[in-house]
Amino acid sequence: MLTSDNAFSTALALILSMDSALISIVMLSLQVSLIAVFIASLIALPVGAALALWRFPGRNVVIVALNALMGLPPVVAGLCVYLLLSRAGPLGEWGLLFTPTAMVIAQVILVLPIIAALTRQQIEALHGEYAEQLTSLGLSRRRMMPTLLWDARFALLTVILAGFGRASAEVGAVMIVGGNIDGVTRVMTTSIVLETSKGNLPVALGLGIILLVLVTMINAIAHMISETAKRRLG
């Protein structure tokens, strides 16, 4: 019989055992999701800021598309990347299917719209506040961009964390493009699916608890960094 209490004790036993397989699964999960969020941020922060500052035909279409893509089902993103990277697909020669790189690519696609859309919103609000001052300083939009991004950095940290949450929680995309290969592409979420399918529910839930604790720790670190920085700024 499954009780929450034996899932907690299973989680605790898993952590205390410091099982090398578990550690490598945790490390791979963090690696894939952090790299994906890093790459997505590099692209999405400037894109989001540019969308906030420039007016051009079709801008609203782009904004609506980005907002809609925030809800892109991970399994669809996974399927697209699968077809792209499969040997029979356009990028098949790269031989990337069923590797961690493929998982990073799929997660970048999932995370990028979230960071871009939310950045656009943050920067637009900030620009509305400071538009007069910035213009009076004679700053071009291109010069405004880094200033506004820097000024919004604490809000943007939350935006990036939202992206990380999406990446670390999804299972549909990494399952399809990674293949859940033991020791190679098995991450926390795919392990949870595997253990559930074996009927090993306490272990599955135990892994879920570990994942939640990790994500909480990362959020806490980010929160501490931003609080400390805010205090220094006075």
Partner 1 sequence: MNKTIALITISTLGMVWSGSLLAAKPYILLASTTSTENTGLFGAIIPAFSDATGIDVRVVAVGTGQAFEIARRGDADSLLVHDLAGEKQFIANGYATERLEVMYNDFVIVGPSDDPAGISNSEAVTDAMQRIAESASPFASRGDDSGTHRAELRLWQEAGISPQGAWYRELGNGMGPTLNTAASMNAYAFTDRATWLAFQNPQDLVLLFEGDDALFNQYASLLLSVQQYPHVKHDLAAQWHQWLVSEQGQQAIEDFKVDGQQVFFPNAD
Contact residues: partner 1, CB under 8 A: 2, 30-31, 34-35, 38, 86-89, 92-93, 95, 97-98, 100, 153, 179-182, 184, 194, 196-201, 225, 229
Burial of 66-77, coded b for 16+ CB within 10 Å and e otherwise, reads bbebbebebeeb
Residue among 27 and 137 whose Cβ is closer to partner 1:
27
Both structure tokens of 64: 């609506």
DSSP secondary structure string for all residues of 126-149: HHHHHHHHHHHTT--HHHHHHHHH
CA 76, distance to chain mean position in Å, is: 16
- From the CB of 34, what's the least distance to partner 1, in Å? 6
- From the CB of 125, what's the least distance to partner 1, in Å? 21
Radius of gyration (C-alpha) of the chain in whole angstroms: 21
Residue among 63 and 159 whose Cβ is closer to partner 1:
159
CA angle 192, 198, 201 (to 5 degrees): 55
- From the CB of 58, what's the least distance to partner 1, in Å? 33
- From the CB of 17, what's the least distance to partner 1, in Å? 17
Nearest to 166 by CA among 119, 109, 221, 222: 109
- From the CB of 102, what's the least distance to partner 1, in Å? 11
Residue among 77 and 104 whose Cβ is closer to partner 1:
104
- The single residue listed with the structure tokens 């405004």 is 144
Residue among 66 and 126 whose Cβ is closer to partner 1:
126
Residue among 63 and 204 whose Cβ is closer to partner 1:
204
